[in-house]
Copies of this chain bind each other. A is one copy, B any other.
Amino acid sequence: MSRHILLIAHGSRRESSNHEVEILARKLALLASEFDSVKAAFLEMADPDIASGLGALIEQGATEIIVLPYFLAAGRHVVEDVPQEVERIKAAHPDVDIHLSEHLGAVNEVPGLLLKLALSVT
């Protein structure tokens, strides 16, 4: 059993913004002792893309991969682009358990985090 998380971000032309996502994947890896690794991949404008990110995990023997969309709103990327790409790879690798989670913005704790952020300013 080899369990992994693939964090999917939009990707940016700013290298520092993509780097921020990789740092986040590393922070998540430190917390996520239930998983063997946490990697980042990007929908567009940065490498690896979703197919390469999933492909690398599958090649190294992943038996289960949780795909985590690091997006706030259920826009086209969350509703169409990411699921389509994940379904395509799932179809090609029926032996690997690939699950797509909800996007971050759907988590109940978000309003509380925003309040904390607002109160930290004043």
Contact = CB atoms under 8 A, between A and B. Distances in A.
Interface of A: 5, 7, 9-10, 12-14, 16-18, 20-21, 24, 27-28, 30-32, 34-35, 64, 66, 68, 70-76, 79, 99-102, 104-105, 107, 109-122
Given A31-B111, A112-B31, A102 B73 contact: no
Nearest to A16: B74
Contacts of A7: 114
A119 B27 contact: no
Given A12-B73, A32-B115, A107-B113, 19 more contacts: A5-B114, A7-B114, A9-B73, A13-B75, A16-B74, A17-B73, A17-B74, A18-B73, A20-B105, A24-B110, A24-B114, A35-B118, A101-B117, A101-B120, A101-B121, A104-B117, A107-B117, A109-B109, A113-B113
